[in-house]
């Protein structure tokens, strides 16, 4: 298949592009590089020994998107491109709605005109809001609590309306839990700009000496050790989930929703402990106040993905930390210079 990957230079996009190439697919990438680096794709090409057809295009530039899609002979699209920082989305909601929603509409128009109607969309478990009902099935009520999460929820609605109106569309909405880890080579991984918002990249930067200590947000949650529990999933397992979804969509029309998680929750303290073991060093931490908007517990019921796609996550927390550490250790400043 020939697959267009939007946001293909980003964290999950680069790992998924690698898996696509390794499975023999052709990959075209659109990325604005506002939040990613082209070096990631150079390394994907190095690892796979294959070329990527790269276009530096912002999805807000409708004619440029159209120009990439028209006549390209695409079979499917995997759509990762979007802004994703929760705090920034609260401060700049218009930027988030404009970028994520309008960008997606531009992509969909270009696909529809070209008759490319197979799409895997990068959604998030954040659409479930702070529900305490775990494990979360795909039937859990949607209740995103910030503009970033609402863009994911609204795009899910747009896509569902689209396939209801036109039965030629085949769409997968993949709701990721907490993606972590890196390719086992240590050549590609997550490279957040500035201070990381998410736990694993922060812990990794403490381990490599870039930051002094981790702040653990809350130790009075109703969880076994009082710290927040999440379903961390290895990015290579996540990437494999996209290939399984593409395969499913080849023969089935409609919109489908799948949780991509391991089904197991780990607390913040368990993550720090596992990372410390992987890195072979102590990870200093302090307890701090709860972070507003955080749920106590969030983990997936991933049984639908297993039943429908034959997919399940294979790598455990120790492996996630080992691979994440190898990437961080070998690339202490990610793909670029210190920031
Ligand atoms: C966050 C976003 C979610 C997004 C996801 C992407 C919020 C409220 N949610 O999820 O919308 O889809 O990232 O991966 O931002 N923690 C610390 N110290 C830190 C950082 C995090 O203790 O420095 C704790 C958090 O309180 C939480 C856990 O670690 O219990 C995981 O946090 P994080 O990695 O930010 O992920 P989520 O909050 O689950």
pLDDT on residue 129: 84
Is 78 a member of any domain? yes
* Ligand 1 within 6 A of CB of 228: yes
Is 287 a member of any domain? no
* Ligand 1 within 6 A of CB of 241: no
Catalytic residue among 148, 221, 232, 299: 148
Give the number of the atom of ligand 1 that is nearest the alpha carbon of residue 126.
11
* Ligand 1 within 6 A of CB of 149: yes
pLDDT on residue 256: 98
pLDDT on residue 339: 43
Tell whether the torsion through CA atoms of 226, 227, 231 and 234 is positive or negative: negative
Is 56 a member of any domain? yes
Q: Is 217 a catalytic residue?
A: no
Question: How far does the centroid of ligand 1 lie from the alpha carbon of residue 180, in Å?
Answer: 12
Question: Which residues are 229's β-sheet partners?
Answer: 267, 297
* Ligand 1 within 6 A of CB of 178: yes
The list of the chain residues with pLDDT below 50 reads: 338-339
Report the C-alpha gap between 270 and 321 in whole angstroms: 11
Residue 300 · residue 136 · CB < 8 Å: yes
Query: How many Cα atoms are found within 13 Å in the side-chain-facing hemisphere of 176?
Result: 23
Is 201 a member of any domain? no
Report how many domains make up the chain.
Answer: 1
Give the number of the atom of ligand 1 that is nearest the alpha carbon of residue 293.
8
| CATH number of the domain bearing residue 9 | 3.40.50.720
Is 26 a member of any domain? yes
Question: How far does the centroid of ligand 1 lie from the alpha carbon of residue 85, in Å?
Answer: 10
Q: What is the pTM assigned to this prediction?
A: 0.98
Report the C-alpha gap between 322 and 274 in whole angstroms: 9
Residue 76 · residue 171 · CB < 8 Å: no
Is 208 a member of any domain? no
- The range of the structural domain enclosing residue 64 comes to 2-180+232-261
Helix axes 317-330, 268-279, angle to 10 degrees: 50
Is 60 a member of any domain? yes
């Amino acid at each position: 298949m020939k697959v267009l990957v939007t946001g293909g230079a980003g964290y999950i996009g680069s790992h998924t592009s690698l898996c696509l190439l390794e499975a023999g697919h052709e990959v075209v990438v659109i990325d604005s590089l506002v939040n990613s680096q082209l070096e990631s794709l150079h390394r994907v090409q190095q690892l796979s020994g294959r070329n990527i057809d790269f276009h530096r295009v912002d999805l807000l530039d409708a004619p440029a998107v159209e120009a990439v899609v028209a006549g390209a002979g695409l079979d499917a699209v995997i759509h990762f491109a979007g802004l994703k920082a929760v705090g920034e989305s609260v401060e700049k909601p218009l930027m988030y709605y404009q970028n994520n929603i309008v960008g997606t509409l531009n992509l969909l128009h270009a696909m529809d005109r070209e008759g490319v109607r197979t799409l895997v969309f990068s959604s998030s478990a954040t659409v479930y809001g702070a529900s305490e009902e775990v494990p979360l099935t795909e039937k859990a009520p949607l209740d995103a609590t910030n503009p970033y999460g609402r863009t994911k929820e609204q795009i899910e609605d747009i896509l569902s309306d689209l396939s209801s109106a036109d039965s030629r569309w085949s769409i997968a909405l993949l709701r990721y839990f907490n993606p972590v880890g890196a390719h086992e080579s240590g050549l590609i991984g997550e490279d957040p700009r500035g201070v990381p918002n998410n736990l694993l990249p922060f812990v990794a930067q403490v381990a490599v000496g870039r930051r002094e200590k981790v702040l653990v947000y809350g130790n009075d949650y109703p969880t076994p050790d009082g710290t927040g529990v999440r379903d961390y999933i290895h990015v290579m397992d996540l990437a494999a989930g996209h290939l399984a979804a593409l395969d499913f969509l080849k023969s089935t029309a409609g919109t489908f929703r799948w949780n991509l998680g391991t089904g197991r929750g780990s607390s913040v303290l368990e993550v720090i402990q596992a990372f410390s073991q992987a890195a072979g060093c102590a990870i200093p931490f302090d307890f701090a106040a709860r972070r507003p908007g955080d749920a106590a517990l969030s983990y997936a019921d991933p049984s639908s993905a297993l039943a429908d796609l034959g997919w399940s996550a294979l790598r455990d927390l120790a492996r996630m930390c080992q691979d994440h550490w190898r990437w961080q250790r070998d690339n202490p400043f990610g793909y670029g210079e210190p920031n």
